[in-house]
Chains A and B, each alone.
Chain A
Amino acid sequence: MLNRSLDELLRDARLGAPEATARLCGMFYPKVLTYMRYRVDAASAEDLTGEVFLRVLRHIREQKGTFVAWLFRIAGNVVVDHVRSKAARHERPLDESVPEPAAAAPAPSRDRSLEAALARLTDEQREFVTLKFVQGLSNAEIAEITLRSPEAIRALQFRALAALRDEMAARGEGGKP
């Protein structure tokens, strides 16, 4: 049964079969959690991942396009709602709602610098970097998620990596040791 294709799992999950739903959520849970880890503060990552799957369960029958794009679009919306809600509670200004990498699991020093630099990018740059390099999605998939043109994706890719390079240089981490 585990060799069933994603399409078959989706079909059964839409029919309300709990085992297909559990399998689907289990397959994508680590990916969404990793996405959240690099987009929001560590303390909120698991809660927001749970929220993503709650929305998936409730709206699975309305899913259109590729499942992965749909899933990460929901994840992006959950992040936006979270940031807005924090801003509304005056926890932090909107433009400062960045992840706190130090609170995540211990990582080697270069990785920590990279995470800290990633946290200083703009939200759209961080979203792109997470989708493209951490999740390994293609430009076409990211275009479907973010509703951007291929040209805009290429420009964002260059800007994000250049900003990351500058952040790393500012931290005295210009080149890989």
Chain B
Amino acid sequence: MTPEREELLDRCLQARREGRDPEEVLRSDPAAAEVRPLLTLASELKSLPPAEPTGEAMTQLAARIAAESAPRTSRRPVVRRALAWAAGILLSIILIGWGGSAASAGATPGDALYPVKMLTERVRMFATFSKEGRVELRIVFSEERLKEAVRMHANGKGIDTDLLKEMLDEAKAAIDATPALAPDSRNLIATRVSSMTSYQKAALSELNLRANADEKAKLAPIMTKCSEQCMAACLMLYGYCPHCSGMPGPATCPMPSMGNEKK
């Protein structure tokens, strides 16, 4: 190994980096035979697969960002909590405005900007302190997962069951949290939750129409679960399910009472 060979290899790699053919550099050099296999290896290394971030790790990082961003100007816990609350409201306003217009808003799994979208969503959740705000975010995220799944299917990427399960999980979390909200906001949010679940049910039916046999098989359990959640949301709001035109019994309705069921 000599400095000349090291330099030759480096000039070849630099040529490739600049979009030129390394053979221009190698052609007349006696060390070409030794350097060529190294150039081949360098090319192969560039095609090694990137690592895929997991949702759990993104959530942990978002929690850290929210914690690190919380104001620390006062040592008094009450003052600190109040400042954190104010910062959270401000942050939510900024992020809600930001999220709508951001280029990452249309990103789907596998896109370079998808981790940005995931992280932003999670920071929004960690920075939102009110129960109502958190349920509203669950609704937004559940709708977003559905949009992503539909977009991926339209782009020929098949049915992403993970995305649809996340859609169901977010919707379930919203349904579960709604009965505990303050009375003045509970019915309004219950209406949104109910609209969301019935829209999701309709969207999945649409997706099913365009799905092939394998995709239909993947969709079937998700559609069943979605119907159950739709029923639960309607029962919470109306005391019966207008979509299913039935009165589901306790076995199919896991929702606790909100106290406004039909007598």
Contact = CB atoms under 8 A, between A and B. Distances in A.
B104 A2 contact: yes
B65 A46 contact: no
Given A105-B49, A114-B48, A161-B38, A58 B68 contact: yes
B49 A107 contact: yes
The 10 closest A-B pairs by CB, nearest first: A26-B116, A133-B45, A18-B69, A26-B119, A37-B51, A161-B38, A158-B6, A2-B103, A57-B68, A22-B123
Name B's interface SS: helix
A36 B51 CA distance: 9
6 contacts: A23-B116, A30-B51, A154-B9, A155-B3, A158-B38, A159-B1
B16 to A, nearest CB: 11
Contacts of B98: 1, 19
Interface in B1-50: 1, 3, 5-7, 9-10, 13, 17, 37-38, 40-42, 44-50
Instruction: Report the interface size class on chain B.
Output: 35 or more
A22 B94 CA distance: 13
A40 B113 CA distance: 25
B119 A110 contact: no
Interface of A: 1-3, 16-19, 21-23, 25-27, 29-30, 33-34, 36-38, 45-46, 49-50, 53-54, 57-58, 104-105, 107, 110-111, 114-115, 118, 129, 133-134, 136, 138-139, 151, 154-155, 157-159, 161-162, 164-165, 168, 174-176
B138 to A, nearest CB: 19
Nearest to A57: B68
A39 B65 CA distance: 25
Given A53-B61, A158-B5, A175-B37, A3 B103 contact: yes
Nearest to B126: A18
A57 B64 contact: yes
A50 B48 contact: no
Contacts of A138: 17
Contacts, number: 149
Contact of B119 (A25, A129, A158): A25
A25 B1 contact: no
Contacts of B115: 26-27, 29-30
Contacts of B3: 151, 154-155
B53 A161 contact: no
Contacts of B57: 33, 46, 49-50
A32 to B, nearest CB: 9
A154 B7 contact: yes
A30 B37 contact: no
B48 A115 contact: yes
B253 interface: no
Contacts of B118: 26
B120 A50 contact: no
A138 B144 CA distance: 38
A45 B38 contact: no
Contacts of A136: 46
A1 B104 CA distance: 10
Given A134-B45, A154-B6, A22 B120 contact: yes
A25 B50 contact: no
Contact of A16 (B54, B69, B94): B69
A164 B61 CA distance: 34
B48 A25 contact: no
Contacts of A53: 61, 64
Interface in B141-160: none
